[in-house]
Amino acid sequence: MKKVVLFLAAIVCLLSCNSSTKGTIYEYTALSNTGQEVNFSDYKGKVLLIVNTASKCGFTPQYDGLEALYQKYKDKGLVIIGFPCDQFGHQEPGTDEEIEEFCRMNYGVTFPLMSKIEVNGEDAHPIYKWLESQAGFAGFAPEHPLSKVLDDMLSKADSAYASKPDIKWNFTKFLISRKGEVVERFEPTVEPNALEKPIEEQL
């Protein structure tokens, strides 16, 4: 009997330990920037692009490209969702209200913005723990002028950074299929206009 109990306990542990590496984004919820709970199951059948954003970053102008993608493909089923985050160089210090106003006034952003979260570490949002479990670091685009800057900075902090799946900087992008599964991860050095073909393949 004792062996049976131990066996069942091991099975439960195995299932729970692997829970973050399975499933779909539809199992998660998050708060909008107005404090309302958003159930991602409401996006079933949509193609999602999840982006961690910041207002004072060298990549902040990507808001223009992201909004252009949203306007081009939203009627075909694309939803872009921005998650503001202040974990990288303290580049998103504002409140949710200030962030929303900045994005609207400076970049005309109309796609959904969520409440500010953490994407790495113990306090990382569950959605980001799941995203990182589904797609590891994809490498910086060698042709981008900021790639070497990022590589040098991250290498000094951790020489093995490239082997770890955590988010490296603002404007990392995850493409999610209509089935709620991660299709591909794009690092900040991939400009939004380069995502047109991958997005079209999912629509």
Burial class from Cβ neighbours inside 10 Å (0-12, 13-18, 19+) for residue 62 reads buried
Kindly list the structural domains of the chain, giving each domain's residue range(s) and its CATH number in brackets, ordered by start: 22-202 (3.40.30.10)
pLDDT at 23: 87
Mean pLDDT, the chain, integer: 90
Task: Tell me the pLDDT tens digit for each residue of 49-68.
Answer: 999 999 999 999 999 999 99
pLDDT at 41: 95
**Residues recognised as catalytic:** 57
Written as tens digits, the pLDDT of the chain (203 aa) is: 545 444 444 444 444 444 444 689 999 999 999 999 999 999 999 999 999 999 999 999 999 999 999 999 999 999 999 999 999 989 999 999 999 999 999 999 999 999 999 999 999 999 999 999 999 999 999 999 999 999 999 999 999 999 999 999 999 999 999 999 999 999 999 999 999 999 999 99
pTM exceeding 0.85: yes
pLDDT at 22: 61
pLDDT at 1: 53
